Structure 1
């Protein structure tokens, strides 16, 4: 299996690359500048300049792109649109690192976590832009996508426990009432999905046990 990781120099991207390599997968980093991940192969190219010819050899493309500043937040939508457009009608799968803010807090799926009163105001712009990107992704029947939301507490430096709980569209907690997962355990879930491909055209979520 050949996997490409877009944004492989980021914290999540690096751990996904590391996890995939540990499973003996053929991994290529797609980065704008120097490749600082463990991947031996790399494509030095901006996401927005990618063409299908750059991606056609990969079974799975993992989108670890991140945008955090107010002027770049809309790129969550524009970057996904670009990737979907070049993968339209193709067999390649697209796996996307999502956000927790768009997880539903009711069975009717009428209210998201980011709409609750305790959701931090500082994170609302990011959450709303990521939710918009997910809404647009749901309309793409022409792409084999999977959107994976982490738990609410997404811990960059958290420990790798080697385990996780796979959940669906609704916000959930573990037996301790916690909604958290480390980047390292999230990477396990991402690579598991890359290998198994059980949730095509679905949004799933993961959290620590």
Structure 2
């Protein structure tokens, strides 16, 4: 299985890459800066600069995006929308990994876990 992990240098991304490599998957780390993972292949590009052509040859793309801002929810929505747009009409499967910080805890959707 050919797997791309977007935001692979993050906490979740590094663990996902390691587990996938340990299981013998063909893993590519998608990172903004220098690769800090065990993946042998790297796409060094910002998530928002990725194109359909960058991801067309993968079976699965894992979105491990995380934001360290005061209000990260708009960034999560924007990043997910971008990945959905560029993968639309392809056979590539998109898996989204999210932390508890993005979970709402009230009906009004104004308070999050973290």
Q: 1:86 to 1:126 in 2, by over 3 A?
A: farther
Structure number with greater Rg is 1
Instruction: Give the TM-score, by structure 2 length.
Output: 0.88
Secondary structure, in 3 states, of the residue corresponding to 1:27? strand
Q: How well do the aligned residues superpose, as a CA RMSD in angstroms?
A: 2.1
Query: Take 2:98 and 2:18, find their aligned partners in 1: how far apart are those partners?
Result: 19
Query: Take 1:28 and 1:3, find their aligned partners in 2: how far apart are those partners?
Result: 6
Query: Take 1:91 and 1:58, find their aligned partners in 2: how far apart are those partners?
Result: 9
Provide the residue aligned with 1:76 in structure 2.
76
Aligned residue pair count: 111
Residue 42 of structure 1 pairs with residue 33 of structure 2? no
Q: 1:75 to 1:126 in 2, by over 3 A?
A: farther
Tell me if the contact between 1:68 and 1:126 (Cα under 8 Å) persists in the aligned partners.
no
How far did 1:72 drift? 4.2
Instruction: Give the TM-score, by structure 1 length.
Output: 0.49
- Larger RCO (CA under 8 A, 6+ residues apart): 2
Provide the residue aligned with 1:61 in structure 2.
61
Tell me if the contact between 2:105 and 2:112 (Cα under 8 Å) persists in the aligned partners.
no
User: What runs of 5+ residues in structure 2 fail to find an aligned partner?
Assistant: none
